[in-house]
Amino acid sequence: YKFWSGLKAVDYTPGIRCAFGARSLLGFLIPKRLGALFYNPGPNFLWEMKRSGGFEGDTDAISVVPWLHGDPAILISSLEMMQQVLGYSDEFDKFKNDSGAALFGLNVATLQREPWKKHRRVLNPAFSKKLYSLVWKESMRMFRDMVETEAWDKAGSATIPVVGDLTAKFTLNIVASCAFDFRSTWSDSISTAGTGMSLSKCLKVVIEDAPVRALAPKWAYFLPLKVLKRVDTAFTTLFAFLRAQVALRREKIASEEMTGDDKAGKNTIFSNIVRANIEGGKFAFDEDEVISNTFVMLFAGHETTARTLNGILALFGLYQDEQEKVYEEIKRVLSNGRDPEFEDSESFTYLRKCIQETMRLYPPVSVLLREAVRDVHLSVTKRATGEKSHDVVVKEGTHVLVNVVGIHYNPRHFPDPDSFKPSRWVDESLSSDAVFAGFGHGPRACIGRKFSLVEATCFLVMLLRDWRVDVDLAPGETPQEWQQRMMTDRITPARGLGPIPIRLSRRESR
C-alpha cells in the first residue's frame, strides 16, 4: 500500500524505486545496497546521480518512491521549476515535520511561512550596512592574525594540508564575532568550557552526526558506544554553551537599559534575538526559539562560506589563468598595493564571478526542501528545450526537492557544465537569485548572502594580493582529472569537499 500511495502522491512521475526514501533518516545511516531489492539512495545520491548520469528522463523532474521506509518525493532540476516551487506563490512551503526542527528547534530557517514571518522580521534589521562593514573589519583583523600566527610571512611559503579546516576556522570566528560578539584570536579557538570540546568541534559533530542523534533512543546512551558518547557530549556542550551566552546577553541588555548605555548594540543579530525574548509582544521569541535561532545563525553563517572558500582555493590552484586574472584585478583596484577597504568590496567583479562559478560547481547547500501545501499542479519542463512538457498533480504534503546540483549541472542552463568558467557570468546576472540556486530563491532565499560575499571577498583579496595558490597535480594529470579525483568524486553533503591540500608562495612584488 505504501508504495502505491507513494506513486499516486507523485502522479506516477517516472524515476527511482527503492527501499528507503531519499531524505529518510534511516536511509542516511544504512548501506546503499543490501541485496538487489534493497536499494537505498543514501545521503549522497544527488552527487552520485550527477556523476553516473543517474536516472535520465526527457524532463527535469523525476520521482523517488520508497516501498519500505521514508517519504515519496519529486526531484526537480530546472530553474523554471525552481522558480515555481521557491517563488512567492503559496503552493509550497518548508516541511511541516522537519527532522532538523525536531533536533534543533523551530527557527527562521525551518519554520513554515506564517510563523516564519515573525522570525524574519526580528532578524532582517540586523542585516544592514553596519553589519557588512563590521564583517569586513573583522575579516581584515582575523586574516592578519592568521598570517602572523601561522608564521607564513617568515617562511615565504606554506603548505596547508586540509584547507577546509583553515577556512572553517576563519568563517566561524567571523560569524561568532560579528553576529554574537564572541571575540577570539586565531590562536585560541572559542572555548565552550567544561568538556574540552571546542565550539567548532561541537558544531562539526552536531551537524555530521545529526541522523545518529535523531534515531538513537534515550536508553542507547547507556551503551558503551564511542559514537553515541561523542554525539551526546557535542549536543549537550553546544546547547549548554548557547544557553549560557543567551543568559549573559540578557544580563548585559538589562544592565545597559538601566544605565542608558548601549554596548550590546541595537540591531545586531544576537541582540535582536535576545531582545525579542525580553521585550515580548507580537514578535516575541520564546526560550526555545532564542536558542534555535542562535544555533542556526552560528551554523548557517560559517559552514557554507567555508565550503565556498575551500572550493575556490582549490580551483584557483588548478586554473592558474583564472587566478592570474583575479590577481590583475586586485592590483588594478588596489593601486600601490594598498590594503582593501569595505568601500572596495563591490569593485572586484571578476573575483565575484569566480565565487559564483565555484558555488555553481560545488553548491554548499545541495538540496532545498519543500512540500505541497495542497494538491498542486506542477508544470514540468522538457530537459532539451525548457518548454512545458506537462503538468503533474503533486498531492498535498508530498515532498518536492529542489536539486541544486542537478540545476547547476543542467547543460541547458550552463553549457559545458563540468568546466570552471567564471566568464559565463555576465555582470547583470550576478545579483539575481533567479539565475542559479546557490543562495536559494524567493522569500526564503538566504538572509546571509551579502554577509558571506563580503567576508569571502575580503579573505580572497587579502590572500591573492600577497600569495600564489598551487595544488599538486600527479605526473601527467590534467587540472580536470585532479578536480574529478580530489573534489567531485569525494564530495558528501555532510562533510562537503574532502580534504584538499594547497600550497601558498609569497608573490615577489610584495
Which listed range, 144-152, 195-203, 251-259, 303-311, lies at the site for ligand HEM (CB under 6 A)? 303-311
Helices 349-361 and 303-318, axial angle in degrees (round to 10): 100
Specify whether the CB–CB gap between 136 and 345 falls below 8 A: yes
Our finding on whether 406 is near ligand HEM (CB under 6 A) is no
> Does 301 help bind ligand HEM (rule: CB under 6 A)?
yes
Q: Which of 81, 140, 365, 486 binds ligand HEM (CB under 6 A)?
A: 365
Pair 175, 298: CB distance under 8 Å: yes
CA atoms within a 13 Å half-sphere pointing along the CA-CB vector of 297: 31
Q: Minimum CB separation from ligand HEM for residue 294, in Å?
A: 11
Give the separation between CA 308 and CA 359, rounded to whole angstroms: 6
Residue 497 interacts with ligand HEM (CB under 6 A): yes or no: no
Choice between 334 and 446, CB closer to ligand HEM: 446
Q: How far is the CB of 445 from ligand HEM (least distance, A)?
A: 6
Contact call for residues 166 and 189 (beta carbons, < 8 A): no
Q: Which amino acid is at 199?
A: L
CB under 8 Å to 367, separation ≥6 — which residues?
A: 46, 401, 402, 403, 404, 405, 493
Instruction: Kindly state the cell numbers that stand for 450.
Output: 551579502
Q: Which of 254, 273, 253 is nearest to 264 (CA)?
A: 253
Q: How far is the CB of 374 from ligand HEM (least distance, A)?
A: 20
Residues 36-55 that bind ligand HEM (CB under 6 A): none
Residue nearest to ligand HEM (CB): 448
Binding part of the chain for ligand HEM, among 139-147, 246-254, 346-354, 434-442 by CB under 6 A, reads 434-442
- Residue 29: CB atoms within 10 Å: 16
Cβ nearer to ligand HEM, comparing 345 with 389 = 345
- Contact residues for 168 (Cβ-Cβ < 8 A; gap 6+): 200, 204, 302, 303, 306, 310
- Of 67 and 136, the one with the shorter C-beta distance to ligand HEM is 136
Q: What are phi and psi of 476, to 5 degrees?
A: 80, 0
Q: Binding to ligand HEM by residue 312, rule CB under 6 A? A: no
Backbone angles phi, psi at 428, to 5 degrees: -60, -30
Distance CA 390, CA 383 (A): 12
Minimum separation from the CB atom of position 111 to ligand HEM (A): 8
When asked if residue 305 is in the footprint of ligand HEM (CB under 6 A), the reply is yes
Among positions 327, 439, 459, 467, the unique one binding ligand HEM when judged by CB under 6 A: 439
CB of 47 to ligand HEM, least distance (A): 16
Residue 495 DSSP label: T
User: Residue 104: what residue type?
Assistant: F
Residue of 46, 231, 368, 491 interacting with ligand HEM (CB under 6 A): 368
- DSSP per-residue codes, 219-283: GGGGS--HHHHHHHHHHHHHHHHHHHHHHHHHHHHHHHHHHT--SS-TT-HHHHHHHHHHS-STT
Binding of ligand HEM by 448 (CB under 6 A): yes
User: Does residue 159 sit in helix, strand or coil?
Assistant: strand
Q: Does 446 bind ligand HEM (CB under 6 A)?
A: yes
Contact 4, 52 (CB under 8 A): no
401 binds ligand HEM (CB under 6 A): no
Closest CB 110 distance from ligand HEM, rounded Å: 8
Q: Which residue, 152 or 439, is less far from ligand HEM as judged by CB?
A: 439
If one asks whether residue 313 binds ligand HEM (CB under 6 A), the answer comes out as no
The grid coordinates of residue 209 equal 552526526
Q: What is the x/- site pattern for ligand HEM, positions 322-361, by CB under 6 A?
A: -------------------------------------x--
Tell me the residue type at 102.
A
The stretch among 45-53, 96-104, 214-222, 439-447 that binds ligand HEM (CB under 6 A) is 439-447
CA 94 – CA 116 distance, rounded (Å): 10
Cα angle value 195/180/290 (rounded, 5°): 80
Q: How far is the CB of 86 from ligand HEM (least distance, A)?
A: 6
Q: Is 96 in the site for ligand HEM (CB under 6 A)?
A: no
Find the binder of ligand HEM among 84, 237, 292, 304 (CB under 6 A).
Answer: 304
Among 438, 458, 460, 483, binds ligand HEM (CB under 6 A): 438
Does 447 help bind ligand HEM (rule: CB under 6 A)?
yes
- Rank residues 19 and 274 by Cβ distance to ligand HEM and give the closer one: 274
Does residue 273 belong to the site contacting ligand HEM (CB under 6 A)?
Answer: no
Q: Is 451 in the site for ligand HEM (CB under 6 A)?
A: yes
Which listed residue (10, 19, 101, 109) binds ligand HEM by CB under 6 A?
109
Nearer to ligand HEM, 268 or 389 (CB): 268
Residues near ligand HEM, by CB under 6 A: 108-109, 120, 175, 179, 296-297, 300-301, 304-305, 308, 359, 364-365, 368, 438-440, 444-448, 451-452
